[in-house]
Amino acid sequence: MRYAALMLAIFCLATVAAGAENPKKLLIVTTDRIVQESQQLSAFVIEKERRGYAPFVATETNYGGGDLTGDAKAQLIRTWLGSNAVGYTHILLIGDPHPEHGGIPMVVTRPLHEYPETSTGATPTNVPVDTDMLYVNVTGDWDLNGNGIYGERGDDDGDGGIDFTPDFIVGRIPAYDGDSAGLDRILALTLKYQNMTAAERGYRTTLLFPAGFYFFRGMMGLTADWDSAGLGEWALNTFLKERNDLTPVTLYEQEGVQASTYPSSRPLNRDELLAAWHAGTGIVFWGGHTFSNRILRLVWANDSNGDDQATQSETTMPVLFHADDAVLLSGTQPGFLVSPNCNAGIVSTPDGLTYTLLQYAVVGVMAATEAATPAAMNWDCYDCPFDETAFGSDTAGIAVLRALVDGTAPAAALLTAKRETGSDASALTYANKMMFNWYGDPTLTLATGSEERLPDTDQTPDDDAFSPDPETIPDDTAPRHDDGGCALKL
């Protein structure tokens, strides 16, 4: 009965706003199985309606393909969106993202196809890049040359091809068959976040900047140290400099032959990060060697040959944070994670950073599904104009951080940055635009709270109600009506 009740609730929520002016509309794309098994999806849908989003949930009942997975399913959903989602501003994907067998799959692209398959140095390789960009833009043909490979820079460009102009603001909540409890934890945490009062939201003004070294001089042919703390320091010395309403907490490397030269509030290690995060923070903006399930520090443990040049054998890589650590965080003060690094956005399996943190600590994540590269801007120059030539991991992170502290939607800001920066149109720019995705409800901001709710009404679905025919999304142009069959009294 839960499925029938939820489908009726969805229908009523969507039709009640028909004919009324509604500039923000949320389409939730998921599966029949998730609708049947989730204990929190109904409450989430009702909450979004109370915030004026006229939500509608689309499943295989709407877009078809109940027997499909992988790319065939992705392309079916994409085509359906192009025909049926006109007028919607936001899309929330809820389902298994695995590109080959997922129920709501990501799409595999090859923006780096011009590079070799293998490399022994710093040269990029032709790696597959999982992305949700083909749901963001449904009007461009991302396989313009028709060879069955999406997102090939130079081959799929041009009139009608790859297009980074968003048709929708898209976010994704990973959900896996057999783990409805994980999805329900994510939805419950998101509901909690949305309904915090101003007093309860005080912790969100604290910003954490944990950042370690990428490399030391002597490694990878570098003549100087590469400290990821420089990116956060650029933000702290530019658009955050006069923000006295915010409390930044920096955690930079203090150990080894070479410590960070930037001022640090606390030392950088796992215990310090867990303690600071557990105490409550609105944003974690981290830097370091990031993998799908962990982020590592790089410590120059000793200079055994005394040449002042680091080698791999002289360094260690302690774990700064592991996906398993997420359960140690409070779960009562959720915020956002901005990860302008590699691989933290890999969600093809349920053991990664993004999925676990969404369950226990954050409501939104910006992260990449592959090894990201930075732009060419000098982040130690605080007076230099912002370089929009390339789109890199760093420019993505700054765009999202700026939106968060300004109280605007970071999911939208990420897509705006993809559209407006990266004029070099290089393969690396294309790859970064495809690999950085938004995870979590795309409507949320740092300021989201209980005040945004419309006045409470009785919005509890009737468990005995039957679902109307859900073949299509209700027509926005239909006159508003009072359907006596709807269990929701709005």
Q: Where are the alpha helices (DSSP H) in 380-452?
A: 393-406, 410-420, 427-435
pLDDT for position 119: 76
Distance of CA 84 to the CA centre of its chain: 24
- The pLDDT-based confidence of 469 (bands split at 50, 70, 90) is very low
For residues 336 and 358, give the distance between their C-alpha atoms in angstroms, rounded to a whole number: 9
- The pLDDT-based confidence of 118 (bands split at 50, 70, 90) is confident
Q: Give the mean model confidence (pLDDT) for residues 265-276.
A: 98
Lookup result for tokens 């989730």: 38
For residues 29 and 62, give the distance between their C-alpha atoms in angstroms, rounded to a whole number: 10
Q: What does R_g of the chain's alpha carbons equal in angstroms?
A: 23
Q: What does pTM read for this prediction? A: 0.91
Q: Is the pLDDT of residue 423 over 80?
A: yes
Q: Give the mean model confidence (pLDDT) for residues 17-46.
A: 85
Q: What percent of the chain has pLDDT over 70?
A: 88
Q: What architecture (CATH level 2) is domain 198-443? A: 3-Layer(aba) Sandwich (3.40)
pLDDT for position 330: 80
Q: Is the pLDDT of residue 479 over 80?
A: no
Three-state DSSP class for 346? coil
pLDDT for position 359: 98
Check whether domain 2-181 has CATH 3.40.50.10390, yes or no: yes
Strands 294-296 and 299-300: unpaired
Each domain of the chain, given as residue ranges in start order, spans: 2-181, 198-443
Furthest C-alpha separation in the chain? 83
Exposure b/e, 85-122, CB count within 10 A at least 16 = b: beebbbbbbbbbbbbeebbbbbbbbbbbbebeeeeeee
Q: Is the pLDDT of residue 284 over 90?
A: yes
Q: Is the pLDDT of residue 401 over 50?
A: yes
pLDDT for position 14: 43
pLDDT for position 435: 98
CA distances for 284 relative to 210, 248, 273, 277, 296, angstroms: 8, 10, 10, 8, 15
pLDDT for position 455: 76
Q: Is the pLDDT of residue 275 over 60?
A: yes
For residues 297 and 360, give the distance between their C-alpha atoms in angstroms, rounded to a whole number: 23
Q: Give the mean model confidence (pLDDT) for residues 389-399.
A: 97
In angstroms, how far is the first alpha carbon of the chain from the final one? 21
* Residues with Cβ within 8 Å of residue 14, at least 6 apart in sequence: 54, 55, 56, 473, 474
pLDDT for position 8: 46
- The pLDDT-based confidence of 386 (bands split at 50, 70, 90) is confident
Q: Give the mean model confidence (pLDDT) for residues 134-155.
A: 98
Q: Note the residue count of the chain.
A: 490
User: Would the CA dihedral through 281, 284, 290, 292 be positive or negative?
Assistant: positive
Three-state DSSP class for 219? helix
Lookup result for tokens 């025909």: 83
For residue range 290-342, list pLDDT tens digits in order.
999 999 999 999 999 999 999 999 999 999 999 999 999 988 999 999 999 99
Distance of CA 321 to the CA centre of its chain: 18
Q: Is the pLDDT of residue 3 over 60?
A: no
| Residue 445 vs residue 479, higher pLDDT | 445
Cross-strand bridge partners of residue 211: 252, 287
For residue range 71-86, list pLDDT tens digits in order.
999 999 999 999 999 9
Q: Give the mean model confidence (pLDDT) for residues 250-272.
A: 98
Cross-strand bridge partners of residue 300: 315
Q: Is the pLDDT of residue 123 over 90?
A: no
Q: Is the pLDDT of residue 404 over 50?
A: yes
CA distances for 107 relative to 124, 154, 284, 353, angstroms: 20, 19, 28, 20
Strands 213-215 and 226-227: antiparallel
Q: Is the pLDDT of residue 484 over 90?
A: no
- The pLDDT-based confidence of 217 (bands split at 50, 70, 90) is very high
For residues 373 and 111, give the distance between their C-alpha atoms in angstroms, rounded to a whole number: 13
472: buried, middle or exposed (CB in 10 Å: 19+, 13-18, 0-12)? exposed
- The pLDDT-based confidence of 9 (bands split at 50, 70, 90) is very low
Closest Cα partner for 437 from 362, 357, 343? Answer: 343
Q: What percent of the chain has pLDDT over 90?
A: 84
Mean pLDDT of the chain, nearest integer: 90
